[in-house]
Amino acid sequence: MKILSVNAGSSSFKFQAYEMPEAKVLISGNFERIGEEGSFYSFKINGEKIKKEADLKSHEDAFNILMEELIENKVVEDLNEIKGVGHRVVQGGTKYDKSVIIDESVIKDIEEYSVLAPLHNPAGIMGIRASQEVIPNAINVAVFDTAFHQTISPENYIYPLPYELMEKYKIRKYGYHGTSHKYVSEKMNEILGRTDTKLITCHLGSGASISAIKNGKCINTSMGLTPNSGLMMGTRCGDIDATIVTYMINSLGMTAEEVDKMMNKQSGLLGVSGKSNDARDIEAGVVEGDERCILAHNMFVRKVINHIAMYYMELGGCDAIVFTAGIGERSVPIREDILEHLSVLGVKYSKEKNQIQSEIGCVTTEDSSIPVYVIPTDEEFMIAKDTYDLAI
């Protein structure tokens, strides 16, 4: 059965087609700068990487081009061969603790939850609508980032605000990147050969979060009501003193919208460095001796180790730590600095082992108190798996 996994961002559209249940990847790629000048797409098929320019005014344009490429590259002879399309949906609230087949009521819920994920949920709906239009016979499935975190206890998901805010308005921690945390934790348990484990999974990318996972269930995670909490990220500030918001509104004359834009799109690595939101650019700046890049690097590392230490205590120990996502999988210098700081917990790493990038591997020595692994995440596979299970 052919299944298509879709991950629609505000101006991007990642995809991967599988033959299920064998999980054979047929094609994978990404449409970028949708609705902007200089839009293009790239894909990989049969080991070959191909990049093309295209005028992408909407997600539907991207979806239509994808369908053309599937036929042209003989992934399918007829679009009806695609039996299911799985969509990453960032925010599913408390209603969805697992993936579901999409109908109009589900779309309505996703729209209502858009206030909690304004950059992501509307893009997800665009991807769903495009799929329904172009492949009307396929089953569409929503795979929620928040679902894996529904096992978090009230002590961890309720904010110390008036309780009525949680009861009436559902203001609480939801957590994000759940599909990624679930995938790498399951892979880690396979490596350890057991499921009664205490794991700390670090999804470090432009968006970043850390989760504490006990016996396969999430007990805490760094992101909260929205994806702009917890760690410092590419353009997001993460945790700050909440009164900074009212200070900027009352004393600096900023509007709530301006403050929100600043905290989500102008902060983090970009805001501190003044140079870039890309960790690769920050690393280059560190090598060049750029003081603000060094500061941004050190701040990011400090936020990560603080959360690892907090979750180590909450779990009552740790059987393994996992790095994943763009920075976690590929940034050797950032991993090294984090590992250096974890020596207080008895973590010992190998500089040689830590050179790995985007492949599964252990970066610690045999006498390390905690094994630390790099495990590339595969959200697209998890989306395809849930879609296949619901489509058969």
Cβ partners under 8 Å of residue 144, min gap 6: 89, 90, 91, 92, 96, 98, 99, 178
Among all residues, which ones are annotated catalytic?
145
What 8-state DSSP symbol labels residue 223? -
pLDDT at 35 over 90: no
The model's confidence at residue 47, banded by pLDDT at 50, 70 and 90, is confident
Share of the chain above pLDDT 90, in %: 77
pLDDT at 254 over 80: yes
Q: What is the pLDDT of residue 10?
A: 67
In angstroms, the CA 116 to CA 120 distance is: 9
Per mean pLDDT, which range of 129-133, 245-249, 322-326, 381-385 is the poorest? Answer: 129-133
In CATH, the number for domain 2-144 is: 3.30.420.40
Bridge partners of 42, per DSSP, are 30, 51
CA torsion, ordered 363, 384, 43, 25, to nearest 10 deg: 80
The model's confidence at residue 171, banded by pLDDT at 50, 70 and 90, is very high
The model's confidence at residue 339, banded by pLDDT at 50, 70 and 90, is very high
Share of the chain above pLDDT 70, in %: 100
Question: If you average pLDDT over every residue of the chain, what do you get?
Answer: 93
Per mean pLDDT, which range of 24-38, 135-149, 219-233 is the poorest? Answer: 24-38
Decide if 29 contacts 75 (C-beta within 8 A): no
Q: What's the CATH fold of domain 194-374?
A: Nucleotidyltransferase; domain 5 (3.30.420)
Q: What is the pLDDT of residue 107?
A: 96
Enter the pTM of the model: 0.90
Residues carrying CATH 3.30.420.40, the chain: 2-144, 194-374
